[in-house]
Amino acid sequence: MRSGCRGESKWLARLRGLIALIAVCALVAFGLFQTIVTPIAELGKIPHRAYRIAGIDYNTAMGRDVRDVQYSVLLLWSRHPGATTNLTSAVAATARWRQQGSGPAQLQQPVPCRVQRVGASLLTSLDRRTWDVAAALCPRSPNQQDGNSLNDDPWWDFPNFDLGINYTGLLGSAGAVSSDRVSDTLRVYLGLTNDLERVYVNTEPVSLFPGTNMLSVANIVLFQGLDPMQLGTFGFESYENYLVASVVQTIPNPYIAPASNPNVATLGFALQTAQGGWTVLQDYRSKSVLSGLSALGGLGSLLSTILAVLLGTSLVQAILRAFSFLRMGGGS
């Protein structure tokens, strides 16, 4: 028996048609998975990668994005039953800057910072019935208010935060609960921007326990976040640059005597200014519509190659049930 095409046996035509049908079904399923399912699934878990750069040119778009550093401290406290005070009343914060032309040890007099409650319109993922949220905001450095600075890098003029907290009214009637130590700690986030949502999402907190005096040292990290994030789903990545603090060391504060009151704690922040380069954390999309189409094209080429090797025809030709040039006029 012969097929409708001269020179081709019926079984070969059927085999070619069956393989073409399987290939088309595989391409459709693979295409839907790669271009729709995986990009959407990755929306809630954006990967990021780290790399190093020698420095930042403030004349570039990246440099302009991070030029204006705004220091802040985000404070989170787990509410306790029977508490008699709130976080803003229990915390005091000060900042100290280097004097112009002085060495690192010569600091100006402490400047009080404003500790204010963070409303429910910000950090909406935190239930205010469970969390008491506040932020310490400090004025700009006196070195920068008069147009002068000790260094061209704006982040260098760090305010050297000092926080003090009295847990007496926060712990409630039951006092500290030793079975859940983390609930009895103040979670402190060092921010380099006034956008508290970014501070909360991209910064690891320091847990301040009652009765301790601690000192934390932070490095500055350049973060590149996808903006808008949805555009990355289609394979087009646009970035917004901002700075985040990475706390690399927390030790007992050697400049303060051991705490005598078990319900009082302090925390100081220092910034590591001698950086041999910048660490950059960059969001990216490993799965997108564009990468899915690229993978689909690769699979199509592979299947077409297999058909060409086994049956002497391409995938498109197999779908159209046509002979390749080399098989034209052949068959048995």
DSSP-assigned letters across all residues of 279-290: EEEEE--SS-HH
User: Could you tell me if residue 332 is inside a domain?
Assistant: no
User: Do 67 and 135 belong together in one domain?
Assistant: yes
Q: What is the pLDDT of residue 182?
A: 83
User: Could you tell me if 161 and 101 lie in one domain?
Assistant: yes
> Number of folded domains in the chain?
2
Structure tokens at 274: 């001698």
Q: 96 and 34: one domain?
A: no
* Shared domain check, 60 and 196: yes
Point out the least confidently predicted range of 30-39, 40-49, 98-107, 222-231: 98-107
Same domain, 71 and 33: no
The pLDDT tens digits of the residues spanning 15-52 come to: 766 777 777 788 888 888 888 888 877 777 778 888 88
Residue with more model confidence, 89 or 5: 89
- Same structural domain for residues 91 and 183? yes
CA–CA separation, 133 and 127 (whole Å): 10
Q: What is the DSSP string of 29-96?
A: HHHHIIIIIHHHHTTTS--EEEEEES---TTSHHHHHHSS---EEEEEEE--TT--S-HHHHEEEEE-
| Domain around 182 | 48-283
| Residue 331 lies inside a defined structural domain of this protein | no
